Amino acid sequence: MDCIFCSIINKDEHEGMIFRDDKIVSFLDIRPLSYGHTLVVPVAHYTDFREMPADLMADYFAQLQKIALAVERATEAHGFNIICNTGIAASQSVFHLHYHIIPRYHDDEVFKRLNFKKYDHSITMHSYAEKIKKQLF
Ligand code: AMP
Ligand code: ZN
């Protein structure tokens, strides 16, 4: 399979490698939104978050938190975003599950223009809550 993250995991030569064990690897993003922008990737190939097996989650999220705190300390950031783009519409470009850790600073304007919507009488918050509740199974 032609997957850039599988090749990185198999070669183990990435300049920005931070962590690896038998389940999880972590390395720096080659196109950082801020310096220290880090990716946390399961060793096993899952296309995206939809495919993430439940039995990976405890280890994965514990390691994600550990690495995020290390990134925050190392970069002296004031906070961070943890993002998992899922699907082309959500800007996923590498189809091997990963989370981004993006160090953030006060007024850094990394995500400057977000287009917030409003619920109103024609599109109610309640109708969306009901739709989503029906899909929880
Ligand atoms: P996404 O758009 O959420 O799928 O994120 C994929 C990320 O992988 C992008 O931010 C890329 O910059 C990053 N990326 C692609 N190739 C490499 C690489 N060889 N080393 C590190 N990061 C990479
Ligand atoms: Zn892969």
135 lines ligand 1 (CB under 6 A): no
Nearest residue by C-alpha to atom 17 in ligand 1: 30
Distance 11 CA to ligand 2 centre (A): 12
What residue numbers bound the domain in which 56 lies? 4-135
Model's pTM, two decimal places?
0.96
pLDDT averaged over the chain?
A: 97
Number of domains, the chain: 1
3-state secondary structure 31-42: CCCCCCCEEEEE
CATH number at residue 24: 3.30.428.10
The confidence band for 27, taking pLDDT boundaries of 50, 70 and 90, is very high
Pairing of strands 38-42, 17-20: unpaired
Contacts of 33 (CB under 8 A, 6+ apart): 100, 102, 110
Average pLDDT in the 69-73 region? 98
